[in-house]
Chains A and B, each alone.
Chain A
């Protein structure tokens, strides 16, 4: 049986595997020299000290049964609580990951090393900030050599960021189709003409794409004009400048402008928050998933109750605002991610096992589903029984809000369509959920027609 994780087969320097529930990394003998330079140059210590690179401990022996004969060292990296993928990030998360990659590339160059890959999957978010997780991405710099990972950086970071900033933020979803980043010719055909007024985008995307097309089969990667070390650094500085200049400010989208003020009276809102706080105190979850989190008001209640929270929303503007809050107020416990619950992240890549589905990556102790069920049941026509089953598979504990048809928000959803939702009543909701859950608490939210439930999934 192989314990090797599906995401780490490309780089022959080593691989990632699971041993006794912890993620480990085997360093292969072929990478030994580079690995020793990473340590002896002081680069590793410097990057870890700044919080840019995940730290690791060296542990004994080849713990994986996959390739013990080429084992050099085994590393136990510091734990990253949740693995997220670039198509689940908002604009600023992808931008911060890009800038981190470039800062590391420059620091590496100054220490006589270079990044041999620049995949967005090498960055994760932990404690509210991006961190580089691939310790085996560094190799010794050879004088004159261009940047091997230049194409990958442009495809994984620059192209999607430019598309999100200058065309449409939803184009981040191209990363879900293109696992090795957005092809540059595709990016060029989608970007507006005004993109080419920026010298950086013109060079790194358009001229770059033109060269790719012209030299597609020329073998030029073997023979090229040498690039001085200063020129290499200039290339990185130029990428930093062009990435920094890209920005996306959310406009008032459908729900981002929606603070609960307009659907809730102030005292109803206060009552709902008190009820949620009570449930959080009672369950004392360590890990919470807040589904349909909006900008994360209830995620913050969970975080202040000492939980690590993933704050999911389908609206890029909500996730963007939430992430900016996390970054500005340094909230290490909250990870905002973009997720459409009606079409959650699937398993993709080679053999469908390179990138896991969202549900198979972790199991929270508690799910918050506040002001959510009407979106699933009515906007997306999911039967209540199906919603109960899907939520019960995610976590044992559930805090869920039922929003009846008489509520203004639901009236809006139903205004332009036939009401085919005869089961969508408080009774129908409970009947559907008791098939999978025991209802532990049921509270009417004062000053509204909504009901808040706490439920626990039935065993078996």
Chain B
């Protein structure tokens, strides 16, 4: 457990706690999508476009 600074809006206790769970599931989904598009690419289908204009993922 880590102690965090408080924000000016109430982040909501449940909303804070749920993020570890949601982010884990999201990580699996992201990885799953990546492998799926690699499999598709291997069979000659165009990879699903990531359509991502944002900066590269953080280090």
Please report A residues at the B interface, Cβ cutoff 8 Å.
10-13, 46, 50, 102-103, 106-107, 109-111, 116-117, 142, 144-152, 154, 199-200, 203-204, 207-227, 229-235, 237-238, 240-241, 244
| B15 A219 Cβ-Cβ under 8 A | no
Chain B residues with CB below 8 A from A109, complex form: 58
**Contacting pair B57 A215 (CB below 8 A):** no
Whether A215 contacts B14 in the complex (CB less than 8 A), given A106-B55, A107-B54, comes out as yes
Which of A117, A154, A235 is within 8 Å of B26, CB to CB?
A235
- 5 A-B pairs with C-beta separation under 8 A: A106-B54, A145-B2, A214-B14, A215-B13, A221-B13
Number of A-B residue pairs, CB cutoff 8 Å, is 162
A224 with B9: CB separation less than 8 A? no
Point out the residues of chain A lying under 8 angstroms from B2, CB to CB. 144-145, 223-226
**A361 and B23 alpha carbons, distance in the complex (Å):** 40
Find chain A residues with CB under 8 A from B29 CB: 199-200, 238, 241
Residue in B closest to A13 when the chains form the complex, CB atoms: B8
Give the residue name and chain of the B residue nearest to A109 (CB).
Answer: B58
Is A212 touching B14 in the complex (CB atoms < 8 A)? yes
Kindly provide the distance from the CB of B35 to the nearest chain A CB, expressed in whole angstroms. 15
Interface pair A204/B54, CB less than 8 Å apart: no
Considering only CB atoms and an 8 Å cut-off, how many residues of chain B contact the other chain? 39
Residue pair B22, A207 in contact (C-beta under 8 Å): yes
Q: Which of B2-58 contact A (CB under 8 A)?
A: 2-27, 29-30, 33, 51-58
Cβ-closest chain B residue relative to A207: B18
A221 to B55, CA, bound (A): 28
Tell whether, in the assembled complex, residue A203 and residue B15 are in contact, meaning their CB atoms are under 8 Å apart.
no
Apart from the given pairs A215-B14, A224-B20, 20 other A-B contacts in the complex at a CB distance below 8 Å: A11-B8, A12-B8, A46-B55, A106-B55, A117-B9, A142-B5, A150-B19, A199-B29, A200-B29, A203-B21, A211-B15, A212-B12, A212-B15, A218-B13, A221-B4, A224-B16, A230-B27, A231-B20, A238-B25, A244-B51
Contact partners of B17 in chain A: CB under 8 A: 211, 215, 220, 224-225
Q: Using known A-B contacts A221-B13, A222-B6, determine if residue A146 contacts B19 with beta carbons closer than 8 Å.
A: yes
Chain A proximity of B23: nearest CB distance (Å)? 4
Name the contact of A237 in the complex, choosing from B8, B18, B26 (C-beta under 8 A).
B26
User: Considering the chains assembled together, what is the distance between the CA atoms of A311 and B46 in angstroms?
Assistant: 40
